[in-house]
Amino acid sequence: MDLTELAGTTFGPVTHRITESHVADFIAATSDDPDRWTDHAPPGYAAALLFRLAPDFLWSAAVRPFTKALLHSDQQFEWLQDLRLGDLIEITATVETVRERGGMYFVAFAMSAASGGETVLESASTFLMGATESEPSATERTEPGATDRDRCDSASDVEVQGATARLVKSASRADLVHYAAASGDFNPLHWDHATAVAAGVPGVIAHGLLVASWAGQAAVAHADEEGSRLGKLKLRFRNPLFPNVRALVSAELRPDKSVDLLVTAGDDKLVTGRAELVSTQLR
């Protein structure tokens, strides 16, 4: 079959209970601030809701042949309400469009999450997929030790100077396995060296949504300063982050209360994007 035939396919509904233990595990996996998130989940927890259904598409029998190359290229989240502890979330998803270009497929995957019949989160993901393996990387990387990582700030350590919030982050290979368990994103690209090299990268790479959660933490620092909350996050994943490599997360507050986001490793731009802050709305 052709992957374009799956456009319009729906998934769910499935339910997900936001529990204190699951949120605590997610906070630990993303080096977030446990004292900040006591009655609701951090914004990055949206990834766990997305991957409550995304695997039903990505690893289905019809789609699996097209995952020999699989990358998450763009992501947008919009939080309409806080994700409260104890809430039972109903999640649905749709493959909105599938475009083929040069043997690769750009899949637009939309997810919606509701609590008590009220939408609390909307998500739009773009996955780049292909049935042909990429050329193996010519610069294969020797993997660091399982627990080796560079400096990794907690979100509570964010440095805010004027309009700029900064965090330094890193992840070990063990951290990536921890994040996979906390988020439900078990793509072997993030834990199996051979799979990563076959996909055309030098070795295991960090989850895009793990790095996205770090960007969200820097944006939240501005939200707290402004008495607002994170309303929308729109990101493009440009280059991968490897284990035990230091990443600098920067969030620049603009006069219109949007936030320019940039994650770098050395001279490489890893993630670019923008966040929007909105007035606090608690249910």
pLDDT tens-digit readout, 80-127: 999 999 999 999 999 999 999 988 999 999 999 999 999 999 999 999
**Percent residues over pLDDT 90 in the chain:** 87
Q: What is the pTM of this model?
A: 0.94
Overall average pLDDT of the 183-200 stretch? 92
The DSSP string of 65-96 is: GGBSEEEEEEEEEEESS--BTTPEEEEEEEEE
Residue with tokens 């960090």: 206
> How many Å apart are CA 167 and CA 158, to the nearest integer?
5
pLDDT tens track for 231-283: 999 999 999 999 999 999 999 999 998 999 999 999 999 999 999 999 875 55
Q: Which domains does the chain have, with CATH numbers?
A: 3-279 (3.10.129.10)
pLDDT at 281: 55
Task: Please answer whether residues 228 and 75 qualify as being in contact, where contact means their C-beta atoms are separated by less than 8 angstroms.
Answer: no
